[in-house]
Each structure stands twice: as C-alpha cells, then as structure tokens.
Amino acid sequence: MSQLPHFQIYIDGAWTDGHTGQTMATQNPATGEDWATFACAAPQDVDRAIAAARRALNDPAWRDISQTQRGKLLYRLAELIEDNAQELGRIETTDSGKLLAETSSQTAYVGDYYRYYAGLADKIEGAVLPIDKPDMHVFTRREPIGVVAAIVPWNAQMFLTATKLGPALAAGCTVVLKASEIAPAPMLAFARLIEQAGFPAGVVSVITGDAENCAIPLTRHPDVDRIAFTGGPETARHVVRNSAENFAVTSLELGGKSPILVFEDADLEGAANGLIAGNFGASGQSCVAGSRGLVHRPILEQLIARIKEKASHIVVGDPMDAGSQLGPLCTAAQIEKTVATLTAAKAQGATIHFGGEPLAQAGNYMAPTLVECASTDTETLKVEMFAPVMSLIPFDNEEEAIAIANASTFGLGSGVFTQNLARAHRVSARLKAGICWINTYRAVSPIAPFGGYNQSGYGREAGIDAIHEYTRTKTTWINTSDKPMANPFVMR
C-alpha cells in the first residue's frame, strides 16, 4: 500500500496527512483494486481549517482586495482548470469509474463556471433606498456571508464544487471544502490549482474524511456561517440538525427520481435519445437521472423497440478507453442495491426487457437495464439506485401523466418530449421540479439556476442569483440634517 500514490489534505496553504495520521485507500471501480491512499481529517484538522478561513476572512490580503482582483484570481483558476482538465479527468476516472471522455470534457467546461463568477465579482452591488423619512440617506451593501462549509459528493465533484466555490469566492467568502471519502482524489488534486492560482492561505482548504471525524465537526462548527451541501436526503437531515448548533445559512442539493414524459406526438428518435442520456449517461450516476420514464400508451411498444435497438450497441468497458460508452459503477454497494431493487420489481410484476444483472468481469460493471413497470408502486420507480436502470410506465392522458410525475418525494429534474408547443408550456408549468427540459435532457450552464423541490432540497446553485446567497445585506442610515437628532421622548 505504501507504493500507491498518496493524496494529502490541504489546510491553510499547506499539505498535511492530518492530526492523527489516519489514511484510507480508494479503489479503482474498473478493477476493484486499491489504486491510491489519501489522508483523513480529524476534528483538530477541521478546527484548524475553519480557524484559517476565519483569519483569512479578516486578513487584508483577502478582505481588502478589490472585487475586480477577486475576479482575476477566479479567471486564473479557470485557466488552470482548463489546462489541467485531461489530468484531472484521468484521476477522476481512475477514482470514480466515470468515462474519461466525460470527466475530462466536464472538467474543461467547469472552467466556464469560474469564469462566469469571475465576471460577476465586481458586479455585486447595493442600492440607495427611496426612504420615507426626511433628511435620511439610506443605502444597502452586500457583504461576504463569512466562512462557508462546502460539501460535495463523488459523482460530479468538479461541477458541484464550481457551483459553490465560484460564487463563494466571488462574493469574498472563505471556504472549507469537504470532498467525499468515496473517490476524493480529484478534489485533493484540484487543491493544487487553487494554490497555483494565488489565493491567499486559508481562503480555501480542501479536506476529506468520515462523518464522525470530519463532516459532523465541520457542519456544526460555531464559526461556520454558511453550509452548501450536495448529497442524499438522509445525510442532509443530519446536516440540517447540525446547523441548529451554529444557525448557518444552509442550502441543499439532494437526490431525485426525475420523470421524463413522452407524449404520442413526440419525435421518437429524440425521445429515445433523451431517455438513454437521462438513464445511461454517467452510468446512471446522476442526481438528475430521468429514471422514471412516463410514456403515452399508444407509442410504448414503438419506443421500447427503439430503445432496445440503441442499447444493443452500447459499448460497456474500461472507462479509460475512448471506445467505451458506459463504465463501471463507483462502488460495489451500488451493484448490491441495484440487484435488490430489480429483484423486488420483478416480484411486483415488472418486465425486464434487457440487462438486469451485473456483468461477469472484474470491477463494478452493471449491464444497462430497461424495466417496464406494472404499476406506479414498482420499486424501481421509487428508489434512487445510481445505476444504468431505465424504468418505463404508460399513461393514457395528460392529466394522468402529470399526476404520476408529481407523485414523488423528490423534485429535481424533469423532461417533456412533445412537438406541441402549448402542451410543452402547460405541462412544464405544472411539474413540481426545479428544472424542466423540453425535447432535451441533462443540459447545464453556469447561467442557469440548478436546484430542486421537496426532498430534492432547497436553494439554487449557478445563475446570477446564486452569488447573492453568499452575501448578507447591510443597511446604512445617514442623517443628512444639520440639526441635532430629535429628543426621542418628544413625540410629534
């Protein structure tokens, strides 16, 4: 194990193995073998990272630089990310099993998120208020909210980090970034680019570790002002309880069981591609996976046939291979959960048209799977598996489709395939989801807000408004009269 690559955590501008020296191994999902080790943060390291962030927040080296200069640092970080996208992608693919073609291109695109917030850094403005009191000049200004605890999962970590770190730094905050203890190597490598970009020590620290020693001390720490969390609902409940200790402003971007509605007038080629992208893209390991396919009954058989034909050509293989189109799942536990969920669905009368089993080879490979559900109670329509499993269920009319789509505890993404413009507007307005894609799926942009309803969380990431979530508004009153302030005990 000592011969494996080793990743340290980054605290206050320095690299360290952590207070206790604890390390963990991370596996290559394509082989099932350990490929690297990483240092784990202890509570003392969390304290040190937050103390550094608090100090940096008040240090003139960060506090007093202009908003324009903050933007320039973010521009520099964007350039470094793009220059190192292939190497970061290689590390992420080795650590998480996602296709190299996806990790490297996604990382390169992430540079646009930092560039977007770099451009917004010097456009954070206050306002002069038309106050209803005489001789008063009243104005507002937006100030950094403070120390941010940003917590990201393994499945889209460069993207999900950018949606937090970009606006936080543009607003002038300092950040302790906690990477998942599952596949954290890309984030620890990314910390080197933060260092190279020239951010002052303590402005950003990058740590990882288990819940007890790292996540819990971080989210309940009294010096944390803001928590930005992406992960599952169960963990989020603990985060919210922990935030009661510090009253940190909290945003949650959680899971989903996103519906894709396909109406009988839809372009079937586009709809089939949308369902495949929404379910087999990233091996189904996406919070916006369109894992509930709702299909107008008259076209169900046609659509299934088209999906079968397309799926028969999917190349499952080594994620480092440019010819592979679907790689392994990140963990063996995902395979176990998927198999158990499919077993339950079959017992409920579901039909598996293809796939349904792990592939008999080294690594965490799951065959792409299509399930036709017998009822809305089918297990695959309710459980977020994080696997390449597509579930389809028919509907007979628009009202029924909307009712099925909204009958979920989640509400992150949604999709509608129809060539009827009026229907597209009508249905998308009624879907209880934070995102709705019409005749497309899984498109993202730094300009477009991202977030959900219900148990998919609250708050929004990306877009111009996200930067305001990392500021507080201060109101200043100035008496412009040359007369003394009136006696407060004399009422007029």
- Strands 471-479 and 369-372, by their bridges, are unpaired
Q: Is 373 left (phi over 0), alpha (psi -120 to 50) or beta?
A: beta
Instruction: State which amino acid sits at residue 486.
Output: A
State the DSSP code for 150.
E
Quote the CA–CA distance of 170 and 72 in Å, as a whole number. 10
Question: In 354-477, which residue ranges form alpha helices assigned H by DSSP?
Answer: 398-406, 421-430
Question: In 348-483, which residue ranges form alpha helices assigned H by DSSP?
Answer: 398-406, 421-430
User: How many CA atoms lie less than 13 Å away from 420 in the CB half-sphere?
Assistant: 12
Quote the CA–CA distance of 338 and 356 in Å, as a whole number. 9
Quote the CA–CA distance of 143 and 6 in Å, as a whole number. 39
Q: How far is CA 414 from the centre of its chain?
A: 16
Residues 303/13, Cβ–Cβ less than 8 Å:
no
Virtual CA dihedral for 435, 440, 442, 446, nearest 10 degrees? -70
Query: Is 461 an active-site residue?
Result: no
Residues 61/177, Cβ–Cβ less than 8 Å:
no
- Strands 174-179 and 136-144, by their bridges, are unpaired
DSSP 185-227: HHHHHHHHHHHHHTPPTTSEEEEE--IIIIIHHHHT-TT--EE
- Strands 23-28 and 33-39, by their bridges, are antiparallel
Catalytic residue of the set 92, 102, 181, 253: 253
Quote the CA–CA distance of 125 and 119 in Å, as a whole number. 13
Residues 145/118, Cβ–Cβ less than 8 Å:
no
Query: Hey, what are 222's tokens?
Result: 């009294």
With 0-12 CB in 10 A as exposed, 13-18 as middle and 19+ as buried, what is 292?
A: buried
* Number of neighbours of residue 425 by Cβ within 10 angstroms: 12
DSSP reduced 3-state for 351: strand
Residues 174/199, Cβ–Cβ less than 8 Å:
no
Q: Sheet holding 471-479: strands in order across?
A: 127-129, 136-144, 471-479
Positions of E strands within 48-163: 127-129, 136-144, 147-151
State the DSSP code for 485.
P
User: Which residues are tagged catalytic?
Assistant: 253
